[in-house]
Amino acid sequence: MTIKKIFIAASLALSVAAAAYAEEAKAPAAGAAPAMSAPAAQGAPAATAAAPAPNAAASVATPAPAAPAPAKKELKTNKTITIGMFMIIIAVTMGVVVWAAKQTKSAADFYAAGGGITGTQNGWAIAGDYMSAASFLGISGLISLYGYDGFMYSVGWLVAYITVLLIVAEPCRNAGKYTLGDILSFRTSPKPVRAFAALSTVAVSTFYLTAQMVGAGKLMALLIGIPYKMSIIGVGVLMVGYVVFGGMVATTWVQIIKAGLLMSGAFLLSFLVMIKAGFNPIGFFSTIVSSPEIQDHVSKLVLKDGVILSGVDAGQRFLEPGLYLKNPLDQISLGMALVLGTAGMPHILMRFFTVPTAQAARKSVIIAMFIIGGFYVLTTLLGFGAAIHLTPQGITSVDPGGNMATLMLAQQMGADIAPIIGDLFLAFLCAVAFATILAVVSGLVLAASAAIAHDIYVNVIKDGHADQHEQVFAARATSFVVGACGIMIGLAAEKQNVAHLVALAFAVAASGNLPVVVLSLFWRKFNTAGVISGLLVGTIASIGLVMVSPNMTYPKVVAEGGKKVIAAMEKKQAALPAGQSLSEKDAKALAKAKVDAQQTGTSMVGLEKPLFTLKNPGLISIPLGFMAAILGALAFPNRRSEEMFDEVYVRQNTGLGMAKAVEH
């Protein structure tokens, strides 16, 4: 009954939030609500962009110039249908957790579902763990505004699983037990290695979790009007409940459900887009090239070579690289962080301990690759479809980052059939985005709590002497604490630009975690000194470089940019006929520039401008992590570590010593 009462309380919390929205809706609101921003060449989503005013209309048509100060357009949902969809998602996942709680009796059940998840189930769970809300909204939004570059942004996430399949999936499943620390401590000094591995896991999970929580709050505020703080608390309560009571079993099934819903929604919407195109891909892309709105949009983008395109040339450029990712080194660095960082993400590595055999681990990665690959193909159709049917101008009028493109497209495609279908389709995809957030944050909380409870408490503090009851209690207690901290961080970071935190998560995973995992599994001379050196240098280098990169805010740089915009707008105003004023868009840009021009001070670390010009540090920090790990191991050789390599080699290739699976 305790579990049921807690989840009833969670439902009440969200119901109260819905009621709060209803009350707020009675009176006009003029404030702006924040939305999730498109990824800024940093590896994944974050929350930064400004969002529309709550009372704006849902239409995506260009505003009438006669209106002196029209309200900003908004993606308007049918709150009754949308909240109903949310409640269905919550009810289903709560039922899963109540069932999973009865299956979770031991530490193996809590951390790894007793190894009883099949390869197919784990493949869907990995896909559900990996495809975040911003993958769904942000990637399609980037494609709708920048064409080919938006698609290239997603390639890194797909290719990353080739690295996972070929290097870490099978060996990690065979050599580990629950956490990253299990893999690294097998032939090293357990206590210091587990302590450093746990710190790295918590750091990566916290960076990623913070961005997801802030994104969740702002997305919910935008879509259905639930206040930011209430959204964070509601998501946090559900997240904690899933992990504390259901452990890995509940988290796995929530991720599977979410992946199924996400693929279903993306496929259905893509199918409607292709119906509009007559299932003719050549005609589909020809429409993009010949679209006057897309041509006009491209003609206004700043190209690296300074050339201004127009007409068909501008439309063709939409299907070519260089509109968004302009710096080749930034692209390479981003690609390295995504491809290598995924293989070092703790919540992804944990998934390989849930399957009964190495064959199942390989199968799960292959299935995940097909699901994720199919998903990104669908997002490509969604992005280009949004550019055709909504126009880039219509998309940016609702959200400058383009994150609402998919949801706007769903509403329009459904409304073409019948208005109620549009509302239902939009509500369904909003609920899918909500389920996506819940699945991702649950996996992150489980990874962080496992590192603290299993590595720090059980193996460092208790020296491995803790019975099953004590281990499960420690796991649940730490999950509750980690979840509570996630809620508090989310509330504190409401007005912060957290985009760089996702870049940081992937960079730390690629620079600190991956080098020591690979060398632990495949290099005989690797030892304790190498693990600690690699983790420390890789983590510090990646964090340090991000702190001095363009990801941070530099007030003087912002002020200089504002002054340039003011000069350009004043010149534009002077060129207009007497009595004619700037357009609404230009007037807003001028007002913002005047505010920006007043900024003074330095960045968080006291810099006036970036010292490191790349947005992602992977190009520098990943080689540094590998070098530090290798040099540390060579500088402090250890005979015991070398002698135990044969055992690790046999174990990672055969699975000897792994616990048998438990049926669920």
Rounded to an integer, the average pLDDT of 512-517 is 92
What is the band of 386 on the pLDDT scale with cuts at 50, 70, 90?
A: very high
CA dihedral 166, 167, 171, 172 (to 10 degrees): -120
Q: pLDDT by residue (tens digit) across 108-142?
A: 889 888 888 999 999 999 998 888 776 778 888 88
Least confident window among 81-95, 260-274, 526-540, 589-603: 589-603
End-to-end CA distance of the chain: 22
Contact criterion met (CB below 8 Å) for 633 and 530: yes
Contact criterion met (CB below 8 Å) for 334 and 159: no
Q: What pLDDT, on a 0 to 100 scale, did the predictor assign at position 534? A: 95
Say how far apart CA 491 and CA 233 lie, in whole Å: 8
| Mean pLDDT for the chain overall | 81
State CA 468 to chain mean position distance: 34
> Looking at the predicted structure, is the pLDDT value of residue 68 above 50?
no
Say how far apart CA 581 and CA 567 lie, in whole Å: 16
Task: Please report how the helices 405-417 and 228-276 are oriented relative to each other, as an axis angle in degrees rounded to 10.
Answer: 60
Say how far apart CA 486 and CA 493 lie, in whole Å: 10
Q: What pLDDT, on a 0 to 100 scale, did the predictor assign at position 303? A: 64
> Looking at the predicted structure, is the pLDDT value of residue 371 above 70?
yes
What is the band of 59 on the pLDDT scale with cuts at 50, 70, 90?
A: very low
Domain boundaries, the chain: 2-21+33-59+73-554+602-654
Say how far apart CA 642 and CA 439 lie, in whole Å: 40
For the domain spanning 2-21+33-59+73-554+602-654, the CATH number is 1.20.1730.10
Least confident window among 201-205, 424-428, 610-614, 651-655: 651-655
Least confident window among 383-387, 471-475, 479-483, 554-558: 554-558
Q: What pLDDT, on a 0 to 100 scale, did the predictor assign at position 324? A: 81
Question: In percent, how much of the chain has pLDDT > 70?
Answer: 85
> Looking at the predicted structure, is the pLDDT value of residue 389 above 90?
yes
Task: Identify the residue with better confidence: 153 or 242.
Answer: 242
Q: What pLDDT, on a 0 to 100 scale, did the predictor assign at position 658? A: 55
Closest CA to 385 of 416, 408, 356, 368: 408
Using CA atoms, how far residue 316 sits from 148, 385, 408, in Å, is: 10, 16, 24
Closest CA to 502 of 157, 129, 235, 204: 204
Give me the phi and psi of 562, to 5 degrees please. -65, -40
Rounded to an integer, the average pLDDT of 623-651 is 91
> Looking at the predicted structure, is the pLDDT value of residue 71 above 60?
no
What is the band of 557 on the pLDDT scale with cuts at 50, 70, 90?
A: confident
Q: What pLDDT, on a 0 to 100 scale, did the predictor assign at position 107? A: 86
Contact criterion met (CB below 8 Å) for 341 and 506: yes
DSSP characters over 54-93: TT--S--SPPPTT-SSPPPP-----HHHHHHHHHHHHHHH
Residue type, 81: I
Question: In percent, how much of the chain has pLDDT > 90?
Answer: 28
Q: What pLDDT, on a 0 to 100 scale, did the predictor assign at position 626? A: 96
Task: Identify the residue with better confidence: 133 or 103.
Answer: 103
Q: pLDDT by residue (tens digit) across 333-348?
A: 888 888 888 888 888 8
Place of tokens 């399609």: 140
Say how far apart CA 627 and CA 511 lie, in whole Å: 10
Exposure letters 243-261 (e unless 16+ CB within 10 A, then b): bbbbbbbbbbbbbbbbbbb
Say how far apart CA 542 and CA 537 lie, in whole Å: 8
Task: Identify the three-state secondary structure at position 575.
Answer: helix
Say how far apart CA 37 and CA 49 lie, in whole Å: 5
Please compute Rg for the chain using Cα positions. Answer: 25
Would you tell me how many other CB atoms lie within 10 Å of the CB of residue 364? 29
> Looking at the predicted structure, is the pLDDT value of residue 61 above 90?
no
Q: pLDDT by residue (tens digit) across 525-539?
A: 999 999 999 999 999
pTM of the complete model: 0.79
Least confident window among 406-415, 459-468, 632-641: 459-468
Rounded to an integer, the average pLDDT of 511-537 is 93
Place of tokens 């961080």: 489
Least confident window among 62-71, 213-222, 323-332, 403-412: 62-71
Say how far apart CA 130 and CA 258 lie, in whole Å: 11
Rounded to an integer, the average pLDDT of 305-313 is 74
Element (H, E) at 164: none
Q: pLDDT by residue (tens digit) across 216-241?
A: 888 788 777 788 889 899 888 988 98
What is the band of 631 on the pLDDT scale with cuts at 50, 70, 90?
A: very high
> Looking at the predicted structure, is the pLDDT value of residue 297 above 80?
yes
Rounded to an integer, the average pLDDT of 476-496 is 87
Q: What pLDDT, on a 0 to 100 scale, did the predictor assign at position 307? A: 65
Contact criterion met (CB below 8 Å) for 625 and 538: yes
Say how far apart CA 518 and CA 521 lie, in whole Å: 5
Rounded to an integer, the average pLDDT of 604-625 is 88
Task: Identify the three-state secondary structure at position 252.
Answer: helix
Q: What pLDDT, on a 0 to 100 scale, did the predictor assign at position 265? A: 92
Say how far apart CA 364 and CA 362 lie, in whole Å: 5
Place of tokens 């709560």: 94
Rounded to an integer, the average pLDDT of 452-472 is 88
